[in-house]
Amino acid sequence: MVDDEKRSKSDIARLGAQARWGEGKTLPRAIFGSTDNPLTIGDIELPCYVLDDERRVLTASGVQFGMAMAQGGSMKKGLSRLELFVSGKILSPFISNDLRERVQNPILFRTPANGKAYGYEAEVLVELCEAVLAARQAGKLQAQQMPIAQQCEILMRGFARVGIVALVDEATGYERVRKRGELHKILEAYIAKELLPWSKRFPDSFYEEMFRLHGWDYDPRSVARPGVVGKFTNKYIYEALPEGVIDELKAKNPENKKRHHQFLTEDVGHPHLERQITATTTLMRASDDWTGFKKLYDAVQKRSR
């Protein structure tokens, strides 16, 4: 009985470590950004990235540095300094439950260099600064916390300047020019300069589940499929890639003489494609019919926006 209890606790600890370090699952990947090109606010440099699901993230260490907090973690309760800071009795009344939960659950992602890093969505830093400044306004901060408040004030002023620039861009129409530049970078990351040789990218299970949900007979030995299968593949796989990618694929492959995936890059395009195929196949497996799958797919897409 004691051995079983120890084993159970050991398993729980092992699974907890795997969850924290992302073992056994596909991690979101940064497709833009690097430590060499940080977001600069005055003298403060914040390493930032854009993930393949379009989340804009700042590294956890960058958030701590940006707020003038001591670097490194803490052994107390196994929490980081930032987690301890937001859960402390001084700041806690100014922290929403949603913000506290996001701080306690940083995003584990792969950097462009294929390393692992923890990060937070960029809005988290803004909300943390707002909470610290609210605590200062209420006269609740201790003397040793005042430098953090001063740093947060510097950041908020910098964010305000960036915000007004974005508003001017939108009002003048320059935003459209900037977006074209951003689209060019996305296409450069996703679309290969040369056509890649064909290789099997869609597993049989993807088509098997699609056929099951429609009540069609599936023969894994045959490549003959209803014409609508191509439309479904575009809608649920290729259109889920960053905006503009499917349009570029159609432009490069207007008559569908090649497979769209032959035009994707191996380092960014193919990994994102494979993750989307896996995610979509999983949703199909969890559905009883095509209508149920579409509802499930739409709900997932809505939550990820």
What are the angstrom distances between the C-alpha of 96 and each of 92, 113, 305? 8, 34, 21
Instruction: Tell whether the model's pLDDT for residue 112 goes beyond 90.
Output: no
Condensed to tens digits (0 to 9), the pLDDT of residues 203-258 reads 999 999 999 999 999 998 888 889 899 999 999 999 999 888 999 999 999 888 89
**pLDDT exceeds 60 at position 118:** yes
**Residue of 81, 30, 76, 77 lying closest to 56 (CA atoms):** 30
Q: Angle 200-203-204 (CA atoms, 0-180°, nearest 5)?
A: 120
Instruction: For tokens 């792969």, name the residue.
Output: 110
Tens of pLDDT along 157-186?
888 877 766 766 666 776 777 777 777 778
Band the pLDDT of 189: cuts 50, 70, 90.
confident
**Mean pLDDT on 132-153:** 93
Where does the pLDDT of residue 39 fall: very low under 50, low under 70, confident under 90, or very high at 90 and above?
Answer: confident
pLDDT score recorded for residue 72: 54
How open is the CA angle 142-143-145, to the nearest 5 degrees?
70
Give me the pLDDT at residue 74, please. 45
HSE of 116 in the Cβ direction (CA atoms, 13 Å)?
Answer: 10
Confidence band of 125 (pLDDT split at 50, 70, 90): very high
Yes or no: say if 293 and 214 are a contact pair by the CB < 8 Å rule: no
Q: For the segment 2-29, what is each residue's pLDDT rounded down to a tens digit?
A: 344 444 444 444 444 444 444 546 899 9
pTM: 0.51
